[in-house]
Structure 1
């Protein structure tokens, strides 16, 4: 510790602390405007100057480090006079009415007794209101450059700069473009960094910039990163959202997290139970809109619908047996809701036909991880990219699907890490990548096995690690013999020398980490793809240490937690197999019931079972399979043919439109519960809003449905359900509800109370019977459906930055829908020219299963002969085209590859439902 004098008192500092760091800790309030925690010091506003005895000039306290014996004055006449002068000069050009009531400049001006400025106000530029999310008020800009540094250093986007010199200096976007015409991705980091209101959220401006708001700490409801947020609420409406200093985001957010909150206030929210009218038969093929779907239902009371639900489910069970009902839960719901839902299906329906969207995301990844490592969880948090020398991103587009997670990768590259992006498409990360490996779609195994061949043939194997911690080595390397880089180069489209370079780079670094997404998992060979990635880590010893490991990026906000809680057909909570006699006996005693030992059907298998009249009734909570399932027309036909369909949701979704009864549920901001992010961190979400109308909490609804079919559960409150859940899940047993309320976030495994949790796992052993990781060979398997003369183009699907999943929430957000309002198919310029269409034209795309229309968007990021489209648009429901063929191990459909044809459409525009 270093001792020095601060305003006449002895203060202690750590080596490297600045004067301002210590002042903040000591409660000494020194004005500061250009300084912000987490950003590099600029020292350009000079509001924080202090006097250091023995020095002729005043020093900026934000960037002056403490020295032993230093005597510092921040509150003597000389320092205060300088601080006051700086604040008065900065205030000179401010508008008479501050743009935001919490302006830091106004705060410090009041603190030093300033009332206005004696200096003449210069003419200021007009506000830029071109962007739907952010309003630019340059009349309030003090050129502190916090926005510049936030955009560059934190988000890694480099959109904002300081242009020109001297008196003409000005903050600009790109080449001094209007914000809406710039490359801004609307993350809002600049807004959160701005101290004066020069940059503000438009939603806050439209709300009248309320002086007083009620702050509620919670989580972002989008994607698996699990960003912590603070909701600012006025009169039961969210008016703005700020990032909180959570373990996954360090206060950062993306466009969805910051501006996608207003869906909860949308006029289409369901606010009362609905029963299908007797004169409104289900129609799977009709043109769908939320308004037309609502007309098929009549309002009802909760007593009426719960009585009908009990009668219908019990009647189907009595008539068709305990294999006749199934349930789809949701990765958007809390751990407690997921736990109760799977418990209802298993104990009330009498089977294991329960699944959720993980079957469309990472089921193949989990199958390979359980097989190879004994655990389906990630080994290291996303932030460990900052500790890696080499980062591999394959089959993922983090800047779109996990934007805040991507910032850590960008930051790591800025700090010197090497980035290898392996993907058939270009992404935003490719501009900073050391290597972009743009291999041919469907050739993952060829490329990865070639890399493994190099590692073995060039003796880059960590033999000590392999001998101590793996099994199956001899059979594995024998399988690699034909996969030389020269043999695989024409298959995957990457030259042999490049394959060798990236294999060496990954194997020889001190710490290499692999991130992957659904570009790896959503294939019929998805499990084989993941097996190869696991083998890369095991052969080279790149696992079990900070900065190494395997991380399948989770798509929805609680995919990890819902799977942990048992919302999958072959596993009880905590991945205990339903076929395991010991696990079955435990849960029979724990739940006081008899259970089947036969694994249930998966999402796609249930749709087929409905067609075969094996499944007669369903309970769907928060899922939208009519949009998310492959071959969506078949899924809709199956759902429409059910004897009884119960849907629980917040909007009249495409799936709810096919229901017999629809129950109005709670939106994310209206519930309290725990959620588990992609890092295995269990976090607390808190209700910020009351429920609208006669809507009810999802937890309460599940409990009432359980009661209606004859179940008698003890746990009622969310805390009681969490406690029941953790006591049957060893990995989270040490996390109490009280601890979660107090700490907000705990990473599992956390097996006993007081356990700190373990962000990095597999450090000594793997949770397999032998304690060793298993090397599993993978062979070349081609996609189920290859292009031909009739369908010559490869279709890949996924998400886009501004929308999430099936769009039921984000397309009801004003800002997000304004940014991306219509369905677009991304096509290479060569393909557009071949078709004789131009960007913005409507095209028709057809597969062997259906056809849709969308607007053509020119995009050189896709390879010629391939197209990409997001699946969030009801008016261009791309999953009508996709292939339901399944990976034999993970039972995941091949959403990332199917054959289509594209032609010019006669339509000039598409209707938005």
Structure 2
């Protein structure tokens, strides 16, 4: 195939001959050749606005005096451009003069002093004061109501960057120009105070403000020129946003969005304002603690590590390696997780190692690995939110659980993408959707079978793709023949026409990704639900192609990496199977020791085994199962049944309180390493500040425990650990720190040092050879409402808090916005129960009772309710159902029968 040459244009800029691609703007053409043209309104991610007029340049022979805005004017052959002659500079001086005439000149007090484009250009062009006098923007209009940032209209230059990023990138449209003349200002809709608007405090408007009109409250305490900027990866969800931490005197004082491939200069409220304050929190654990007579007392590292090694060694000698287990941390680095599972397998002699994917996306790992050959997202975030015709979003409240991806979905809709939302709640993205199938929780398999019935019956299946690239189609086709839209509609409690229309819209689209999350996985049929996703994509040939695929959104920042690194009872690093004798032999050679060939227990099996006395010792690294696991009373009983419990943590969590020894961990900002985001993208984190107190590198602690237990293990640095990972994991063979620092990131599989990585998986051939269709019958959830417990409850995340609140709960602004638990109730059910919005209610299940507050509305269907799991008051996991998926052993968080009554 012949390579198409890009047409070019040659022109002259300031006497310099330059050649650039046809269609390039003058602003970009100049920048490509090292010539800076000033601008105040330009945002590179958006189309030119041309409103500030600072980028005026002269075109020889041009109309209207030859002055044009460089951001919007395009190159033409033979153009002669002047960017710094007298006419151009006078034009810019006039613009600055006008801006200064309506601007508060108190630079010393301004939080953007030294980081202000208006200040920079005014100095460059000699405009220290305005020549205009008279009326101006009224003073004392500051709005300080937002918990994270302040707004001062007197500093605003009407560049509209804030409103454009809010509307066109965040997809919210909160900010607009209001009023006229000197009263004109940017403000939230209807002139409300900021805290009364629909603003979700993402802070992206603050990040693009050039003058300090919008400024972080924290910025009053520092000036950016006095800080050091450290590029890292956000520690919250699996999006993998790149962020620059601002450090002053060994304290992180702020965070700014960076131009990463997943976030492209966007952050959410957690990334912008809550990704760093917990690092310097005064209640950080800083020294080892040993429990003596029921009380924790400080201990030296030597004393604590000796006790740990002696206790675990004794338990291993008395009861065997299978009596020991470890839970690894999906918020820590790939390197930490690799060394942790290696410690468990070598020193403990056990494969009882797991991570929090067990309770969120283990169904994805098992399901997609079985049907496609790899249990991971098939495409990239940019690919599935840019230039796609339809997005099928199922079981994912994206704008709250993965906010930056949610913003990109909103952008896609703005650009013409049709959105199908399948969710039992009216999630935020419902109002952006073309269709919302509000199916009953727990009916995903039936619904997808119904859609496939329509696609096959109407001849919309890709028979060529099916014949060439898949197997198992006939059995699947025969099974779904019975799942007519009419039958499925009754199961899902929706209309048959909704199923038919959704099937047609998805099948007929040229590019249509499936995006899903925990609403698919956290069921007693979670793995089968995941397999249904691959069934649907393969049926219409939408896999192994741009803008298509099956795309699970992983929950925590490095839950993908924890799985990749072998923190699983079934898998060594790189998903190499424990059950395979060749894998055992490979790792015995690599690690120079004998390994246990027996498949281990999952975390959801370890705790019941502890209750039975089969698991004696447990090492928990950075997890808090008392808060996160279902049926909390049983989790407490399991931890109390252990002979010995070690917890390595940042804070004194509810789980840590049950430990015999607590070791202080260090945060993402205090270490080097890598995270792997939801799209298989390996990215660096970098040490920004020194660890608190006497805390040590986590991987070094694991090495010390292993060594004291008789398996010598040591590493000089995280990069040395990654070098070992590259040797034993084929899909990481081309990954090292040098390449990551040069390229910014790599997506596995990356099999050699000249392999650029794999943005789209299963191109031409599936990882397993042929894609496998699975004939999956619908099975109802294990616990459904009855006369005693008449409401069907689901659980999930909210925007402001994150998981157990260990990180976000230490940011005051976050707690101001979200500080207590709640239960969403349909207003008709609430009226019948005599419950008003905000009332205290009691929620009970077969496992216990909690009290919380009613959030009455139409977010949920009648006879359904929803709760988050973030808050210690009314912790929903006291009452959730601990029944498991038979394959991935994942709990059924999404379906639980409850009763509700008002608290008098």
Structure 2 counterpart of 1:812: 810
Structure 1 residue 75, shift from structure 2 partner: 1.2
Post-superposition CA distance 1:668-700 (Å, at most 9, x none): 111110110001110000011111111111112
- 1:858 is paired with a residue whose SS is strand
1:124-163 correspondence runs (5 A): 124-163=139-178
How many Å separate the matches in 1 of 2:539 and 2:225? 59
What displacement does 1:716 show? 3.4
Quick check: 1:845–1:903 contact (8 Å CA) kept in 2? yes
1:598-747 correspondence to structure 2 within 5 Å: 598-747=598-747
Work out the CA distance in 1 between the residues paired with 2:855 and 2:670. 37
> Residue in 1 aligned with 2:44?
37
Partners of 2:855 and 2:229 in 1: CA distance:
41
Q: In structure 1, how many angstroms separate the alpha carbons of the residues matched to 2:403 and 2:447? A: 27
Contact 1:16 1:66 in 2 (8 A): yes
Q: CA deviation at 1:840?
A: 1.5
Structure 2 residue aligned with 1:801 = 799
Q: Which 10-residue stretch deviates more, 106-115 or 381-390?
A: 381-390
Aligned position for 1:453: 453
Shift of 1:170: 2.1
CA contact (8 A) 1:792 1:900 kept: yes
- 3-state SS of 2:503 partner: helix
The whole-number CA distance in structure 1 between the counterparts of 2:529 and 2:813 is: 37
Tell me the secondary structure at the aligned position of residue 379 of structure 2.
coil
Q: What corresponds to 1:895 in structure 2?
A: 893
Q: How far apart are the structure 1 equivalents of 2:674 and 2:126?
A: 46
Distance in 2 (alpha carbons) for counterparts of 1:124 and 1:6: 43
Q: Which residue is equivalent to 2:130?
A: 117
Q: What's the secondary structure of 2:260's corresponding residue?
A: coil
CA distance in 1 between counterparts of 2:633 and 2:383 reads 42
What secondary structure does 1:569 align onto? coil
Q: Does 1:256 align with 2:270?
A: yes
Partner residue in 1 for 2:14: 7
Task: After TM superposition, give the deviation of residue 473 of structure 1 in Å.
Answer: 1.1
Pair 1:81 & 2:90 matched: yes
Residue 877 (str. 1) matches residue 875 (str. 2): yes
CA deviation vs aligned residue, 1:796-846 (integer Å, no higher than 9, x gap)? 111110111111111112222222111122222222222212212221111
| Superposition TM-score, scaled by structure 1 size | 0.96
3-state secondary structure, aligned to 1:68: coil
Q: Which residue of 2 aligns with 1:910?
A: none
Structure-1 separation of matches of 2:597 and 2:672: 33
Report the 3-state secondary structure (helix = DSSP H, G, I; strand = E; otherwise coil) of the residue aligned with 2:226: coil
Q: Aligned-pair distance for 1:868? A: 1.2
How much does 1:427 deviate? Answer: 1.1
Is the CA contact 1:273–1:301 (under 8 Å) kept in the aligned structure 2?
yes
The 5 Å alignment of 1:343-362 reads 343-362=342-361
Residue aligned with 2:684, SS: strand
Partner of 2:207: 192
Q: Distance in 2 between matches of 1:171 and 1:853?
A: 42
Per-residue deviation, 1:192: 1.0
Residue of structure 2 in register with 1:56 after alignment:
64
Give a deviation string over 1:625-658, Cα, whole Å, max 9, x none. Answer: 0111110111011112211100000000111011
Is the 8 Å Cα contact of residues 234 and 240 (structure 2) preserved in structure 1?
A: yes
CA contact (8 A) 1:448 1:533 kept: yes
SS at match of 1:822: coil
Distance 2:394 2:296 in 1: 45
2:137–2:182 Cα contact (<8 Å) kept: no
What is the rounded CA distance, in whole Å, between the counterparts of 2:742 and 2:37 in structure 1? 31
Question: Structure 2 residue aligned with 1:274, among 266, 289, 296?
Answer: 289
CA distance in 2, matches of 1:713, 1:217: 30
- Measure, in 2, the Cα distance between the counterparts of 1:828 and 1:705: 52
| 1:36-69 Cα distance to aligned partner (Å, 9 max, x none) | 2112211111112122222223211111111212
1:499 paired with 2:499, answer yes
State the partner residue of 1:836: 834
Give the C-alpha shift of residue 499 in structure 1.
Answer: 0.9
- Is the Cα–Cα contact under 8 Å of residues 470 and 773 in structure 2 kept in the other structure? yes
Between the aligned partners of 2:195 and 2:338, the Cα distance in structure 1 is 44
**Map of 2:27 onto structure 1:** 20
5+ unaligned residues in a row in structure 1: which ranges?
281-295, 907-913
| CA offsets 1:135-155 (integer angstroms, 9 cap, x no match) | 111111111111111011111
Give the 3-state SS of the residue equivalent to 1:886 in structure 2.
coil
User: 1:420 aligned to 2:420?
Assistant: yes
Verify the 8 A CA contact 1:531 1:777 in the aligned structure 2. no
Residue 304 of structure 1, CA deviation: 0.8
Structure 1 window deviating more from structure 2 (65-74 vs 561-570): it is 65-74
Paired position in structure 1 for 2:78? 69
How much has 1:118 moved relative to structure 2?
A: 2.5
Structure 2 portions without partners, runs of 5+: 1-7
Give the whole-Å Cα distance in 2 for the aligned partners of 1:252 and 1:736: 27
Question: What residue is the counterpart of 1:394 in the other structure?
Answer: 394
1:217 aligns with 2:231: yes
Superposed displacement of residue 125, structure 1: 4.7
Aligned equivalents of 1:575 and 1:899: distance in 2? 36
The answer as to whether partners of 2:341 and 2:566 remain within 8 angstroms in 1 is yes
Q: Determine the structure 1 residue equivalent to 2:4.
A: none
Q: In the TM superposition, what is the alpha-carbon distance from 1:863 to its structure 2 partner? A: 1.2
- Contact 1:232/1:241 (<8 A) preserved: yes
**C-alpha distance after superposition, 1:406-425 (max 9, x if no partner):** 12211211111111000000
The whole-number CA distance in structure 1 between the counterparts of 2:786 and 2:168 is 47
In 1, distance between residues paired with 2:796 and 2:255?
Answer: 26
Confirm or deny: 8 A CA contact 1:715 1:724 kept in the other structure. no
Q: Is the 8 A contact 1:210 1:234 kept in 2?
A: no
Cα drift, residue 859 of structure 1: 3.2
- Determine the C-alpha separation between the residues in 1 that align with 2:448 and 2:352: 35
Q: Deviations over 1:74-119 (max 9, x none)?
A: 2111111110111121122222223212011101111112212232
1:168-567 residue pairs with structure 2 within 5 A?
168-205=183-220, 207-209=221-223, 211-260=225-274, 261-278=276-293, 280=294, 296-385=295-384, 386-567=386-567
- Partners of 1:318 and 1:188 lie apart in 2 by 55
SS state of the match for residue 487, structure 2? helix
How far, CA to CA, are the matches of 1:26 and 1:384 in structure 2? 29
Q: Which secondary structure does the structure 2 equivalent of 1:876 belong to? A: coil
Aligned-pair distance for 1:864?
Answer: 1.6
Counterpart selection for 2:105 from 96, 103, 106 = 96
Q: In structure 1, what is the Cα distance between the partners aligned to 2:902 and 2:494?
A: 33
- Is contact 2:822–2:867 with CA below 8 Å preserved after alignment? yes
Q: 1:47 aligns with which of 41, 50, 54?
A: 54
Contact between 1:309 and 1:708, CA under 8 Å: does it hold in 2?
no
Secondary structure in 2 matching 1:512: coil
Q: Residues 413 and 432 of structure 1 are in contact (CA less than 8 Å); yes or no, is this contact kept in structure 2? A: yes
Per-residue deviation, 1:165? 4.1
- More moved, 407-416 vs 426-435: 407-416
- Paired residue secondary structure (1:874): coil
Q: 1:397 deviation in Å?
A: 0.6
* Residue of structure 2 equivalent to 1:824: 822
Matched positions, count: 887
